[in-house]
Amino acid sequence: MKKVNRWILLITALFLSLFSCQNKNIKDFNNTEKSKIEKSGVYYEIFVRSYADSNNDKIGDINGITDKLDELKELGIQGIWLTPIFKSPSYHKYDVTDYYTVDPEYGTKEDLKNLVSKAHSKGIKVILDLPVNHTSKEHPWFKDVLQNKNSQYKSYYRVTKNNDQSLNLNSYAMNHKTWNKLNNEEMYYAIFWEGMPDLNYSNRQVREEVKKIANYWINETNIDGYRIDGAYHIYGDGEYSKNVDLEKESVNWWKEFRSSLEKEHPNIYIVGEVWNDTNKIAPYYAAFDSNFDFEISENGISEAIISQDATTFSDKLTKIYETYGKVASNYIDAPFLTNHDQNRIANTLLDLRQQKLAASILLTLSGNPFIYYGEELGMKGSKPDEEIREPYLWGNENGQTKWEEIKNNTDTPTLEVQKKNPDSLYNYYKKWIALRNGNEALKYGDLQIVNVNDNQILAYKRTYKNKSVIVLHNLSNTEKNVNVDGKNVKISGLTSVLVNTI
């Protein structure tokens, strides 16, 4: 009898172990329904150099952002993402030379602490951009590698012999060769460009250093989380031999990274940049709360408006949410229109009514919508990069940055002008942000497509607990009559309406 009991216990333990493993992806980190709600909000991306200048040196800075917190609060923003602020030789600062120092152009650690403190007092979260796929070529580690053949930091980077047969040293990514000459005998990997050598995440010392950096800024300044730059490229194309599962290794690293932060900071919010399609983005929900939804951005909202095709976009949304839900039950999508690497939405949607429609679609979708600074003004810009990052248009000299000549927005109404115009794009954004912030179904609810038998009407129901609202977007230029939830709703062309359910 005792033997039978032992076998029962062993079988039970094995069953529980298998069950636990099968569900591990759903609970890789502590993202409960409660924490999901706490992390929710409308976020605003600030390209720091372009936003607000506090000391009249023409360059945006941290204190400038602090000075403008009331403006952000008035718009309804609940979180801000700051592009990199660490010491760097470039204007964009995605190539870091010192991860423990705020770049003097932008201010000091004390300035950042002050910004976070004041932002929190106004109900605004702050997340920092963390570019740790690579460093600058000017980082002391890499400079030591260049100067010292036996540098202790050589293993911090992906360096190999120039005759290494196990690697494809002729690999291409982003329209250039990824392996670059280090010296007469060796090469180093840099997926973005040769000035940004990739860190070696097969090196335990590198992993521990990156965890240390991330914990440092949370402990020192009380930030709310990170936007992870280039998360998909940690194990890059051509960086390792063919037998390495790049996606698996990358996701496993980010899970390790998250786990290290959660030990001290269980409510940390992390949003990843996985610039790819839905199937490639989904696995990263095992590590991140949110991932930027490039399918909604690049081939989503603007394409639906231009084509006036609600069916294709509805099918896309359904696929996205189903795919993410298989990885994490409480995922938080991160939809957006454009960011600092893309042509601005006003260059794609030239009609102001189309831009307004794009805004109301963005602000009624699931997850945390991200707004690129100036999008609410209709700021224009197309590549090169500097021209999609032009100075914010305040309308007066109070905080105005001038590091880059304004070329594309000489005719774009400034914030000062738009505030006075009730029909402005700014006031449209403000209205829909307020609608979202005041409606739990729009903030936290699930999204279900509603069929209204008209492929020019994008319709969906947002539901949270016992509260629901139906959202209708008319993608056409003509007025429509729609029967929904037992009601006949009249909706003008290129407009959006909310319908309270019975």
Whether the CB-CB separation of 375 and 339 falls below 8 Å is answered with no
Phi, psi of 291 (to 5 degrees): -135, 140
Residue with tokens 């690293």: 253
Whether the CB-CB separation of 39 and 30 falls below 8 Å is answered with no
Cα 124 to chain centroid distance, Å, stands at 17
Q: Which amino acid is present at 149? A: K
Q: Hey, is 482 helix, strand or coil?
A: strand
Whether the CB-CB separation of 330 and 32 falls below 8 Å is answered with yes
Q: Which amino acid is present at 99? A: Y
DSSP states of 78-138 as a string?
-EEEEPP-EE-SSSS--S-SEEEEE-TTT--HHHHHHHHHHHHHTT-EEEEEE--SB--TT
- Determine the Cα–Cα distance for residues 296 and 320; give it in Å rounded to an integer: 9
Return all residues near 400 (Cβ < 8 A) that are at least 6 apart.
53, 391, 392, 394
Largest CA distance in the chain: 87
The closest of 172, 159, 242 to 199, measured between CA atoms, is 159
Burial environment of residue 312 by CB neighbours within 10 A (0 to 12, 13 to 18, 19 or more): middle
273 is catalytic: yes
370-372 sheet: strands from edge to edge: 290-291, 269-272, 225-228, 125-130, 79-82, 43-46, 370-372
DSSP states of 189-226 as a string?
E-SS-TTSPBB-TTSHHHHHHHHHHHHHHHHHH---EE
Q: Which of 28, 95, 224, 273 is catalytic?
A: 273
Residue with tokens 């924490």: 35
Q: Which of 53, 229, 289, 390 is catalytic?
A: 229
375 is catalytic: no
Q: Please tell me whether the peptide bond between 384 and the residue prior to it is cis, using omega within 30 degrees of 0.
A: yes
Burial environment of residue 194 by CB neighbours within 10 A (0 to 12, 13 to 18, 19 or more): middle
Q: Hey, is 420 helix, strand or coil?
A: coil
Active site residues: 229, 273
